[in-house]
Structure 1
Amino acid sequence: MSGERSTAAHQVVHATQGLSPGTAAPRPESVPDHRPRPRPPRFTGRDAELRDLVDALAPGGPVALVVVEGEAGIGKSRLVREALRLCGERRETETGDGGPDGLGGPDGSGGTLTAVCPPFRDALTFGPIIDAVRDARPEGPAGLGLSPLAGVLRPLLPEWADDLQPVPEPLPDPGAARHRLLRALAELLDRLAIRVLVVEDVHWADDATLDFLLFLTTRPTRTVSLVLTYRPEDLPPGSLLPRLTSRPAAGGRHVRLALRPLGVADTAGLVSSMLDDDHVSDAFSTFLHARTDGIPLALEESVHLLRDRADLVRREDEWVRHALADIAVPPTIRDAVAERVARLDPDARTVLEAAAVLGEPAPEDVLFAVAGLPADRARPAADAAVRGGLLTEGAYGRLAFRHALSAQAVHDGLTARDRARLHARAGRALAEGARPSPARLAHHFRGAGDLGPWLRHGERAADLALAAGDQRTAVAFVHDLLTIPGLPARDIVRLVRKVPLHTYGGLRNRDEMLRTLRDCLTDDGLSPRERADVHMQLGRIIHAAGELRPSQDQFEQAIQGLADDPLEAARAMILLGVPTDSPLPVAAHLRWLDRAAELMEREVPRERRLFYRVSWSNALLQLGEETGWQPVDGFLRDESEVAPGDILHLNRGLLNSGAGAMYWGRHAKARQLLDRALDQADRHGIQGQHMMIAANVVHLDWFCGHWENYPERVRALAESEDDPRFLAEKQLLLGLHDLAAGDRRTAEERLAAALDEGLRGGDLLLQAEPAGALGRLHLADGETGRALAATEQVTGTLTAKGLWVFGAELLPARVEALLAAGRTEEAGRLTDAFARGTAGRAIPAAAAAALVCRALVTGADGPADRAADAWAAAAEAWRALPRPYEALLAAEREALHRIAAGPPDAGLARLHDVRRELDALGARGDADRVAAALREHGETARVVWRGGRRGYGDRLSPRETEVVRLLLDGLTNREIAAALSRSPKTVAAQLKSAMRKHGVTTRTALAVSVATAEQNPAE
């Protein structure tokens, strides 16, 4: 695509001898300017990528998710524009429809909508999408036939208010409100007949926009293809983008295009296209390529800069070559832009500086006002910047930088004082326009340091985000406002009341936020209700950070001032009902939950109770109370029976009750609830809960013995998640696997990290299991003192509170440590208390663990045959859950006591079986221990080759074979999971393992390979 043609050779030289590089030659007025005027470069060097993108967006094909990644200036936007142009030409040829930028014709062929994410700290909810819709549909929504749901868009599109339905009633939960807004925006795209949605610079996208993109990809009736461009190096930590691009929806195309720098030949083609297609010498092409690394934007800027310096001079129809070494090309695009701007006259520089501060396309009058120039001076200056390729005139006559990196270079070159001055002008100029955006005004007045307008417009922007149901954007604005130095306490309280700040984690400067709220409480002028609001928000922020125990102190103080707000009071009471390692006994937690239940029944409207019942049920399940199961059947009801806004609450109910069923030991019920939750989250795009559900599914698979590819599955969970509790859960799951596999050092590090996080926040769910695992690890190493230390604090909390539901993972290790230390009576008392605490309760895991404790005590002071019987009962209880790992560990103890009781034959045979089953499961460290015990009794323990997963080498395991059999019958992963009562994640992992063993990468290839192997077994 270089477009070179055979002409006389042209070279590049300094036009005037004696000038140092970078110095322009003087040009008297009488001397004509023979410098070339570079043209915009032709699209060059991306044939394969262009073909892939056009094919992905072909009309009539499946919906696509296309991700174009590459560094700044690599040509991502140009590639997308060229592809859309070709698609438009193809569609026009085939259907007679218009070009690629239309919003779809009456034939329903659909159109393209292009959104660009601005480099702002915070933006109005769905800012890029809303701006694109507003520009593409200036006449408003009339004739689109939008449903009443579209009323939630009124705060986002106030100019459309007269043609939209009223805003629906607000929803109590921010997640439900956000989900309703996502549905409304998706409906708008459907009515506009959008077939392709392009979102440029997704690394700058606000969280709401990313949520919407995730929602679009998971819709069951997905019709919109997505084309996303982004810079990997600028992707912020915790971005949702990896989640979007790592889990493509079924039934669609997923194309990832990573753009690389141009080669020397394509460099020559690009430069030639800017210089009237005249030939560019190999020496000059190589020179430019070496100094620009083949980055198209750097090449373009270098050609312009060389022209500005008079390094490109045409003499008698050819470029006269001097010495390439005399030409200095700046090492970065920013340097090139900075030098080009410095060579412009003062008015042009001023216009460019104004455009850089505005940061987005602006009308002439706004741009000139920010520049502070009259039109008769500003217009020629802007024209010069356009001719020079720095500015471009876009839709509706708006001016902006052609490249964001150029704008950033100019912006970074401003002094702090000049930047503040220009931001102040921008704020004033935008405020005088029709329907100005509060978000943009807040951005500019913040940059100007003008606190009054910043507070006023930032608060208005938060209000609009709240009205639209976008709590996350509102949180960002309120957070910034709360950290304004010297903000009066009453302003703080007013802002605090606007949004539940605990809703989303990852707040910037969280400690600064907490300090602001705590300082506010020192103001004696606050009313009891105002003080309650601050306590409530403090509690929520601390709770979201995983600090459950300290958050409850704040909730208790808040309730005292919430007499006039029963809904908020009920929420605080439920949060106080969640057990932590505070001194509160179970009975006190239950009293809070009883009070909350009374308020719910009396004060909460029936249509809003699901949110409260989900939280109430979860707290009761954590307390081991059977009444917590009462609402669970309702969580499994048909989705059509609940309001759309309640789907998120329903999903949270499935997640919480599924997790509860797991640690209660009701594993079949847990599988049913979690699989339903995962399917629902996939279908409705409930991303925030999806990864928590997936983590619980992986945890359940650990308990149930589905260990195929286990470490890989754990590491794949929530790679961008920044919730400390979630990260600690991953450490726990990996630590459990390390311990079973015999990697004791790594296991200890991971389990200790998980326990530390649980202790930091008072989270009993995250204390008991790692503490018990650490206790087992130290006991196996003969370190009784460390085992006692690891289990002492958490055991004390559970026994003091009477919270036995968490004892399954901890108390057997504690009892064994006490016995090893010779504290037999204490071990017996703890065992008796555990048995009493679980008696009459249908908590199978705790009941099985209580049998383990009884077997340990029996083995310490009773005959071997009685101990063997006790261990047999414990093993059977674990098998019934099923928890095969614990069952095998109990069977090992049973076999050892059978051997001791004599005769040893039956015990030794059982021990051989246990060793083999542990090895097959993947518990190789335990299998090695059993093998050593067999050798001590004179038995030969055959070493199993462990080259493959689960002791099967390159052969398929029995579980993998089951999955492959159903694959050969044509079943999907989800159908296989249902047939085998496994999770879809487990089935996917087993298929992946089978593919690896057969050396293939697709389901089809696996089926062919297995069928061929069966037909030719000798091979």
Structure 2
Amino acid sequence: MLVGRSRPLGALRSAVRTRPAVAMVEGEAGVGKSRLVRELIDGDLGPLAVLIGHCHPVGEPFPFGAVLDALREVGPRLARLPRLNPVTGVVGPLLPEIAEHLPPPPPSTGDPRADRHRLFRGLRELLNALGPALLVVEDLHWADDGSRRLLRFLMGDPPPDLAVVVTYRRAEVPGGLPLGTAYRPPSPVTGVVVGLEPLDAAGVRALTSAILGEDTSAEFAARLHERTAGLPFVVEEVLRTLRDQPGDARLLDAVGVPVLLRDAMAERLAALPATATRLAEAAAVLGVPAPAELLGEVAAVGAQRVDQALTSALSGQVLHEAENGRYGFRHALARQAVYDTLTGPGRRQLHARAIDALEQVEPRPLVQLAEHSARAGRVAGFLRYGEAAADRAAEQGDATAATGLLRRLLDQPNLPAADVDRLAIKLGRVAHTGLDQHDPAEALARLLTDPRLSTSVRGEVRLYRGLLLVRQSGAVEQAMAEIETAVADLAERPDLAAKGFAVLGQPFVGITSVTDLARWRTAADAFRASTDDVELRMSLLANELSSRLHIGDPTALAEIAALPTAITGTGARRQLARAHCNVGDAMTSVGHFRLAAGHLRCGLRLATEAGGPFVVGTARTTTARLDWFTGQWTGLAERAGALLEEYRDLVPIAGELSLVLGLLAATRGEWAEATGHLGATGAFTPEESIAPVAIAGCAGLAGVALAQEDACRAVVEAERGLDIVRRKGVWAWAGELGPVAVSAYLAAGRHADAEGVVAEFAAGLSGRDVPIAAAALVECRGLVDGSSAALREAADLYAALPAPYLAALATERAEPSVAELAALVDAFDALGATRDAARCRHRLRTLGGGTPSRRGRRGYGNELSPRELEVARLLASGHTNREIADVLFLSPRTVEQHAARVLRKLGAVSRTDLDAEALP
């Protein structure tokens, strides 16, 4: 698949069609020049004869070889021509393969320059006789001087039906001029210069997905882009080495240099002077772009010789100039290729010199010093610099860098027990604030078997491992068991034990009932009341307040109002950020939407300032869920999708984002997409999920089934959610589930079951402060009793939250008037709820109310009308005409007419040509 080259390809095709034409394609090695030309040739070129010649870096002298090479196979075409210009005979002696089809060669003039000019004329006449033709000359930077002169002649006055395409690397062209002298296409020759740049991260992702045949994560694509600098050839070679384990970003650093790239770098190194080679080796050891002076110091090249050596390394395409006068390699694999040429002693010596040089830099580059110490075999230096670098990274909020360094330090053999204890504690603490969960959890698991760990440290390590496991898919039950075991080991550290109590007592994790968790919350609250540690008190308060809000404790809001918005100390600020974000999350679950927005903004600000990437992730995710409730749907699907890509491995975040995406898809009638996302909320694995999200996922699945008029399946999905609510004993989380469950029972003719759910719901909410569930209870009663007044009351309660979509649904169920239905159409349209708007339009038509439109009836010309846009999106997502008719409440014939207009307006041949992302 050709990626990111539509404009260059279009330019080439346009030039070839407007002959005579000259196109020059330039770009560095591996950027895809030949691939672009091949795509041009493989396309529809009509009657053009394609002639391809190559220039070679080494080999026997072959004057004019590139062009003559392109003509070797034209014998059969010449055999069909009636008569050739006699001057073409001069080509025969140079190309015996086609000599029999040419006139006899004329005698030499005795003047080499005249003979050469006659040869050029003969080749031009031969190309003219071949008719419409495309002459491609690859790798012009390696061309012999004769070929350049010949091409200048042909391109200066090409036959009228000839297109010439040449490719070259400008950096390797002698003198920087591909044809040896400046060239400008004469009139009326069409001229175009196509410069190819490396792919960006999105292009690398598209190319990788095409090669692997499956979607690739943004993380993997970004890491691959970093390793390959976006050069398509290098990307393909790396993926070739990863064919057995594609898509794992962690494996990229271990990928060896592809053979072709290694050989290319070896050839370039061999052509350099000794001093330039030493600079390249120093750059490979340093690993990051460096100033010329530092390169010279590490390479032991005198200051007076550095500039000359550097110029050679740059012109030899080994080193590249980065920004701010620093020099390094084009990409990581080029650097690795040079590094691999060093002997073991040579590497250690260069790393030692790098340490000596970098120790003089202020501020000290601790990560680089740690890396060089490890490579030089200086274990003490690696420990000293590595721990200092990890501390600095943690202070700056870069938990991923800190945990990576700490893991490497702990992997060192013969590390003293005191160092193991200290580093293990740091690893657990830092990992808890970051996003890198899997690797630190595995490292902590290995440490738990280390006999050097003291008992209290072992308990702390186990606690942090449990906290990491809570966030991993399929590990919630294991996490809780690990934390409970850790608490038993922390008798001498009641402060840490209290953290374990607080997590074990959280009501929203897994399916253990709130009653059974009460003892852990009581223990955590008791310790909080007795400690003077501000950071610890705030940490425990963050869990306590959100837990109380989640179960609808009516006294929680008063305490939350006293929560500060600022605090001293980085650790305390992180915990205050967590408190505000936890409170915002709980408020979103139970319906205090206006208050939730303020706490989320405050928590996000504090977490960003104090360096808490995991807390930042939870705040961004909860904000997406809050936007769903409050009707802020513009761009929400794109935002939630991007967040899911970023946080896919973190259960608390991924489940909630999947919920938002599933609910949005359901409002558009995209049932398969909705079901897929809603199934990823934990609805089918509540024991490993966040309970409120799993319950809402069940509600969403039941709603999809109801929309498809499958009452039995809707009951099954609703009862799955009700089972979670009952096992947890928290009816505060049934706000979204209650009305759907009641509707499912009523649709299945199970009126008594619907009444039973309403009774349970009412008992569960008695004395609880849960605004969204309170509105839902009123709606449930209205549904069971058939009371329009109750449903309108519920709509008013939803609107006050505000929850405009839920308010609109309740209004629709309250036997609305024609005018109210028309307003609902506009309300659903404004949100983007395509399916709901279509349903209300259908009801209006049934009632004889016509089809309203806020836009008025106007002609859309070649633009898509709103209805056509709805059809286009459903077509692009793979729906059949029958399915679209069901979603939009239209006849199949009407959908067929809309679909035909959509394809015509968008210039698509079939629905498979439609791109959902490209639609307005």
What TM-score do the two structures reach when normalised by structure 2? 0.57
Secondary structure of 1:754 counterpart: coil
- Given candidates 536, 540, 544, the residue that maps to 1:612 is 540
Report the Cα offset of residue 607 of structure 1: 6.7
Aligned to 1:731: 658
Report the Cα offset of residue 663 of structure 1: 2.2
Report the Cα offset of residue 598 of structure 1: 1.8
Report the Cα offset of residue 750 of structure 1: 2.5
- Given candidates 319, 322, 340, the residue that maps to 1:415 is 340
Aligned to 1:251: none
User: For the Cα contact (< 8 Å) 1:772–1:813, is it kept in 2?
Assistant: yes
- Given candidates 707, 719, 726, the residue that maps to 1:799 is 726
- Given candidates 758, 764, 782, the residue that maps to 1:855 is 782
Q: Does 1:543 align with 2:444?
A: no
- Given candidates 405, 412, 437, the residue that maps to 1:477 is 405
- Given candidates 828, 833, 840, the residue that maps to 1:923 is 833
**Structure exhibiting the larger radius of gyration computed from Cα positions:** 2
Q: Deviations over 1:404-458 (max 9, x none)?
A: 3289635414437x36544432444455675786533431354468878655653
Cα distance change of structure 1 residues 825 and 549 upon mapping to structure 2, 3 Å threshold: farther
Q: Does 1:753 align with 2:654?
A: no
Q: Deviations over 1:210-259 (max 9, x none)?
A: xxxxxxxxxxxxxxxxxxxxxxxxxxxxxxxxxxxxxxxxxxxxxxxxxx
Cα distance change of structure 1 residues 426 and 722 upon mapping to structure 2, 3 Å threshold: farther
Q: Deviations over 1:611-664 (max 9, x none)?
A: 432333223222332343343223365x4x766875554444333323322322
User: After the TM superposition, which residues 667-706 of structure 1 pair with which residues of structure 2 at under 5 Å, given as runs?
Assistant: 667-674=593-600, 692-706=618-632
- Given candidates 553, 565, 579, the residue that maps to 1:653 is 579
Q: Which amino acid aligns with 1:926?
A: D
Mapped to 2, the partners of 1:15 and 1:462 lie a distance apart of: 48
Mapped to 2, the partners of 1:783 and 1:386 lie a distance apart of: 73
Aligned to 2:882: none
Cα distance change of structure 1 residues 687 and 391 upon mapping to structure 2, 3 Å threshold: farther
User: For the Cα contact (< 8 Å) 1:852–1:890, is it kept in 2?
Assistant: yes
User: For the Cα contact (< 8 Å) 2:433–2:612, is it kept in 1?
Assistant: no
User: For the Cα contact (< 8 Å) 1:738–1:744, is it kept in 2?
Assistant: yes
User: After the TM superposition, which residues 334-483 of structure 1 pair with which residues of structure 2 at under 5 Å, given as runs?
Assistant: 338-344=266-272, 349-350=277-278, 352-359=280-287, 385-386=309-310, 388-390=312-314, 402-405=327-330, 409=334, 411-415=336-340, 418=342, 420-430=344-354, 439-447=367-375, 454=382, 457-463=385-391, 465=393, 471-482=399-410
Aligned to 2:510: 582
Mapped to 1, the partners of 2:707 and 2:622 lie a distance apart of: 28
Mapped to 1, the partners of 2:295 and 2:636 lie a distance apart of: 57
Cα distance change of structure 1 residues 445 and 785 upon mapping to structure 2, 3 Å threshold: farther
Report the Cα offset of residue 492 of structure 1: 5.3
Q: Which amino acid aligns with 1:579?
A: P
- Given candidates 545, 549, 556, the residue that maps to 1:621 is 549
Cα distance change of structure 1 residues 829 and 291 upon mapping to structure 2, 3 Å threshold: closer
Mapped to 2, the partners of 1:838 and 1:709 lie a distance apart of: 35
Q: Which amino acid aligns with 1:885?
A: Y
Aligned to 2:16: none
User: For the Cα contact (< 8 Å) 1:272–1:279, is it kept in 2?
Assistant: yes
| Worse-superposed segment, 782-791 or 684-693 | 684-693
Q: Deviations over 1:730-779 (max 9, x none)?
A: 33223222222333333222222334697484211321222101111102
Aligned to 2:692: 765
User: For the Cα contact (< 8 Å) 1:549–1:763, is it kept in 2?
Assistant: no
Mapped to 2, the partners of 1:754 and 1:661 lie a distance apart of: 19
Q: Does 1:891 align with 2:819?
A: no
Q: Deviations over 1:367-407 (max 9, x none)?
A: 78976xxx7x9889867624525499x9xxxx997343289
Report the Cα offset of residue 545 of structure 1: 3.5
Report the Cα offset of residue 836 of structure 1: 1.0
- Given candidates 777, 783, 790, the residue that maps to 2:710 is 783
Report the Cα offset of residue 354 of structure 1: 3.5
Mapped to 2, the partners of 1:608 and 1:558 lie a distance apart of: 18
Cα distance change of structure 1 residues 369 and 738 upon mapping to structure 2, 3 Å threshold: closer
Report the Cα offset of residue 342 of structure 1: 0.4
User: For the Cα contact (< 8 Å) 2:584–2:599, is it kept in 1?
Assistant: yes
User: For the Cα contact (< 8 Å) 2:289–2:327, is it kept in 1?
Assistant: no
Aligned to 2:431: 502
Q: Which amino acid aligns with 1:703?
A: F
Secondary structure of 2:490 counterpart: coil
Aligned to 1:282: 183
Secondary structure of 2:529 counterpart: helix
Secondary structure of 1:282 counterpart: coil
Structure 1: unaligned runs, 5 residues or longer: 1-12, 22-262, 296-331, 896-905, 958-1019
Mapped to 2, the partners of 1:511 and 1:572 lie a distance apart of: 20
- Given candidates 768, 776, 787, the residue that maps to 1:841 is 768
Q: Aligned residues: percent identity? A: 29
Q: Deviations over 1:918-969 (max 9, x none)?
A: 455543422433444555xx621422348799xx999xx9xxxxxxxxxxxx
Report the Cα offset of residue 474 of structure 1: 2.1
Mapped to 1, the partners of 2:817 and 2:355 lie a distance apart of: 85
Report the Cα offset of residue 536 of structure 1: 1.3
Aligned to 1:39: none
User: For the Cα contact (< 8 Å) 2:607–2:613, is it kept in 1?
Assistant: yes
Q: Does 1:940 align with 2:869?
A: no
Q: Which amino acid aligns with 2:542?
A: V
Report the Cα offset of residue 789 of structure 1: 3.5
- Given candidates 570, 574, 588, the residue that maps to 1:662 is 588
Mapped to 1, the partners of 2:822 and 2:294 lie a distance apart of: 83
Mapped to 1, the partners of 2:183 and 2:293 lie a distance apart of: 46
User: For the Cα contact (< 8 Å) 2:434–2:612, is it kept in 1?
Assistant: no
Cα distance change of structure 1 residues 559 and 420 upon mapping to structure 2, 3 Å threshold: farther
Q: Does 1:598 align with 2:526?
A: yes
User: For the Cα contact (< 8 Å) 2:289–2:329, is it kept in 1?
Assistant: no
Q: Does 1:881 align with 2:801?
A: yes
How many corresponding residue pairs? 627
User: For the Cα contact (< 8 Å) 1:573–1:592, is it kept in 2?
Assistant: yes
Aligned to 1:570: 498
Cα distance change of structure 1 residues 921 and 566 upon mapping to structure 2, 3 Å threshold: same
Cα distance change of structure 1 residues 780 and 566 upon mapping to structure 2, 3 Å threshold: same
Cα distance change of structure 1 residues 715 and 832 upon mapping to structure 2, 3 Å threshold: same
Aligned to 1:997: none
Mapped to 1, the partners of 2:595 and 2:667 lie a distance apart of: 26
User: For the Cα contact (< 8 Å) 2:495–2:536, is it kept in 1?
Assistant: no
Mapped to 2, the partners of 1:380 and 1:882 lie a distance apart of: 73
Mapped to 2, the partners of 1:462 and 1:683 lie a distance apart of: 19
Q: Which amino acid aligns with 1:883?
A: A
Cα distance change of structure 1 residues 784 and 448 upon mapping to structure 2, 3 Å threshold: farther
Q: Deviations over 1:26-47 (max 9, x none)?
A: xxxxxxxxxxxxxxxxxxxxxx
Mapped to 1, the partners of 2:840 and 2:761 lie a distance apart of: 29
Report the Cα offset of residue 845 of structure 1: 1.1
Mapped to 2, the partners of 1:934 and 1:408 lie a distance apart of: 64
Mapped to 2, the partners of 1:648 and 1:528 lie a distance apart of: 28
Report the Cα offset of residue 495 of structure 1: 2.6
Q: Which amino acid aligns with 2:432?
A: T
Q: Which amino acid aligns with 1:742?
A: G
Cα distance change of structure 1 residues 18 and 766 upon mapping to structure 2, 3 Å threshold: same
Aligned to 1:984: none
- Given candidates 555, 558, 571, the residue that maps to 2:486 is 558
Mapped to 2, the partners of 1:948 and 1:458 lie a distance apart of: 67
